[in-house]
Structure 1
Amino acid sequence: MATSYVALGFSKSGFMRDSDVYACTSNNVIVRSRNTMGNTNADQPLIGVSDINVAMVDGRIECTFTRESSRNDGDDNFYNLRDPKKYYIIMSKLSGSLKPDGNIKYHTERVIGSETSFSEFTSGGSAVDRKLILQKAHGCLMMIAWIGLASIGITLARFFKPMWPDTQIFEKPVWFSFHRICMVLTFLCTVSAFVIIFISVEGFLEIGEGRSGLLRFLHAIFGTVVTCLAIINPIMAIFRPHPGEPRRPLFNWAHWAVGTSAHLIAMATICLALGYRSARSLINGLPDYLFWLVIGFIIFHIIVWILLHIKRNNILNRNSDASNDIPLQDKPQDSQDNLVDANKPTSKDTRIMTFLISVYVLVSLAIVVTVVINIALV
């Protein structure tokens, strides 16, 4: 009697019910079944399947077979993959014994893929390939946007206003110029990634079956919130009041709240996408360590922010009258807002702050490159 199996199935709804399943068992055979309402497995004749090769190798089931795309023998349970209708691909496995009658038991783990139309296969590549490419592009853009650009841009705005007071880029303080560049690129990457994944899934995801379906749905919800916040913040910045105006403090708090919320939610959304195990990843095949790499970055981010907070407060306490707020446009009466008090940061302050931001940028970019390469090569 077989003790385990791995299975491939096609589902009309994304749920296990009404799915056509092909299970490779540990006794070196393939069992075809149909999951019906209540997740009951009903044995089906093994038709339209050839080139079967099932073997146990080092405790693993290795299985290959060829399934016809369609049949005309009246078997309605044999899903026609030439039909324009879209199906979900389901992978599952079971560790334990099969039923006494030989039918397969309900699985212990499963992964449900995206909805796919197999009729779209062409010589230039399949619909699955195109969807995977779009998913990879979405993931890479979001990693670049929020682990890289947004993290650096927010850090500069938070801690580096007193720094490099004698240096300007594009007639603006260094921190503001780089902050603006980073956040504009974050906006462009985020919106592009949102459009790409919206095209890939052809709309908005519905709640799928099980934990995997729920994680996909939560990822979609959080990602939409992040995209909305990423659009709102630059619009707020365009219409910000000038320094010294009564509504300027309100803008400062709102701008900080929206940006910080977007960054935090983006971190959570990325973690949902990677999954703490490859089986939970929204892109199949990603190594498990990527999730923990991002968790490590979050911890590193917090530690660096604590160090920067301590050092910045030390500088500001010596420069209590300093201001580096940025007006919408240069005006003579606002010129003092672009200057720092005569008590400038010392050379030691500059070296320490420059060292911290350099390490932060290098680590951020290294993590982005690592994750992007893994996503591209999977």
Structure 2
Amino acid sequence: MWSAIARRPTSAVTDLKAALVREAQALGFDAVGITDPAAIAGVRDRLEAFLQSGGHGDMGWLADAPARRADPRVLWPDVRTVIMLGVNYGPDEDPMALLHARSRGAISVYARGDDYHDLIKKRLKTLARWLLARAGGEVKVFVDTAAVMEKPLAHQAGIGWQGKHTNLVSRGFGSWLFLGAIFATCELPRDEAEADHCGSCRACLDSCPTAAFPAPYQLDARRCISYLTIENKGPIPHEFRRAMGNRIYGCDDCLAACPWNKFAQAGREAKLAARAELRAPALADLVRLDDTAFRAHFTKSPVKRIGRDRFVRNVLIAIGNSGDPALVEEAAALLHDASPLVRGAAVWALAQLAPDELAQRAATIVEDDDSVRHEWALAKCPVMLPQT
């Protein structure tokens, strides 16, 4: 947070807003909108209903202080203006095409380059300093790291609307926008909220491999592949493993299905561009990563946050779905991994690719972890308990 002391005459406020928009665009922001901090007060009821349904799964942080999350004035009582900003990250290729390359892993478009949080936060701070120098007061910046509901705020700021997949949709950028926010104590003219342009379209809802949308505009995160591969810390529930296919970090299906994407141009700049090694990585290479290699491979990447064990769990599920006999030995090698999470996923992967091979190996396996023994039992391959 920075502070300064100054006041702008009312007659200059409109000019200040226009200058702010120009400065934001010069810094690389593709969308800018301004709203009142009170504009999303009505979302609290929806948020609490979502939490009561359990749709947030294990994301306990969502349930912390819903009043603060649903009202910027509770988070920061001095805020008078919310400036919402968007960066287009539209892909330069069809992200769905990779789902047919079953021996390669599909990483969500947003995570194929360096972590967007770092780049956007630097821009937000630069823009915030610019605003302070001209308007005074105080500011705070947020990039998906605090109790800020960016999508409803962006809707009220006129950047887009929350589509039936619950993500923000823009007429200019489709479903491909990173969002950031600046809270300020100065007053700036507000933009009008964007209208909902989804109409009768159900493309995003019908595209979901796991039926994670119980109704339009409602998400059950517990069924969402993005949640299952990123937030979920335990084994992937069996009912969703086949549907995951080769998605190893996140899922783009509902975003990619949005018809408004036809107006979006590829928006990846050099600093956000997909790394070559993350566009279509071979499962055989990824499953061999130990912790050190994982950290090195995903340096500066959001993938790094989930850790090696959860990531390799995801890769093993993809291997089980690959139908590629060349990956049998890769899965078998991890039946003895130090992580129960990895060992359990390896059992499932091998049961899909080579059940006879798994049965032969069961005779030599000693396993004391209940969750892994459960995987062996489901594969109908009893294993030994350690001797006491």
Q: Given the two structures, how large is their TM-score scaled by the length of structure 2?
A: 0.29
Q: Given the two structures, how large is their TM-score scaled by the length of structure 1?
A: 0.29
More strand by share: 1
